[in-house]
Structure 1
């Protein structure tokens, strides 16, 4: 039985496309070109280059200056600001007052160069500094405060 020309052309085209896709996949899988061993990717657990005791980092994602507080609450004393897109060092996280549905707060590490210390009173050096996690994207794993 003779098949219509359209069916024959469609089957031939489909076979050609599948054959080329298969050949393309075989060519693309030649392996590493520079003879280096493949890089290991770790999902979960410890991150490469991050050692116990190191500070976590985060990036401020607020639209305007983010207020640094003395406690994890919006009613706590303001100690200064961190600005959008600045990078901050985070020592740990803790639950506090909810901000836009997020109850986590990050305690800033002792040394952060990206926050406005001019607006901060001198006595604030002895205080903990907190920012709402709602407006900070953590770039590495943050542990809970003890």
Structure 2
């Protein structure tokens, strides 16, 4: 019982200290809102072949460019679009007028809604 309580306290402290600790989320300069002067969340392309960046959040939209496997990209926001392998979420790329399916991009931090 004592061990279970200690683990619960340790997890709670980690959750509370994560955003506040010197090496936590706040140290990156972003708490999920770029309009407060922070950077945008980063995502990593999780494919073996180039990933198409689309004009709109659907696979039927024009391809505007491609991303390389394991490439890091800045994610501006997310919204629901066309389903890709059971995932309806799409990310708008920062600095580009393109969208990528969240099915193939692993976000390293939460991404705000568009």
CA shift for structure 1 position 141: 1.4
Q: Among residues 25, 36, 41, which one is paired with 2:18 in the alignment?
A: 41
Of the two, which has the highest radius of gyration? 1
CA shift for structure 1 position 76: 0.2
- Matched residue, 2:103: 134
CA shift for structure 1 position 140: 1.3
Report how many residues are paired: 88
State the distance in 2 between where 1:55 and 1:62 align.
22
CA shift for structure 1 position 62: 1.1
**Length-normalised TM-score, structure 2:** 0.71
State the distance in 2 between where 1:106 and 1:73 align.
11
1:73 matched to 2:58: yes
Structure 1 spans left out of the alignment, 5+ residues: 1-39, 112-127
Higher strand share: 2
Where does structure 1 differ by over 3 angstroms across 4 or more consecutive aligned residues? none
State the distance in 2 between where 1:130 and 1:64 align.
17
Q: Give a deviation string over 1:105-141, Cα, whole Å, max 9, x none.
A: 0000016xxxxxxxxxxxxxxxx20000000000111
Counterpart of 2:42 in 1: which secondary structure?
Answer: strand
CA shift for structure 1 position 91: 0.2
State the distance in 1 between where 2:59 and 2:18 align.
39
Structure 2 spans left out of the alignment, 5+ residues: 1-16
Q: RMSD in angstroms over aligned alpha carbons?
A: 1.9
**Length-normalised TM-score, structure 1:** 0.56
Q: Give a deviation string over 1:28-84, Cα, whole Å, max 9, x none.
A: xxxxxxxxxxxx4349xx932224313111000012100000000000011010011
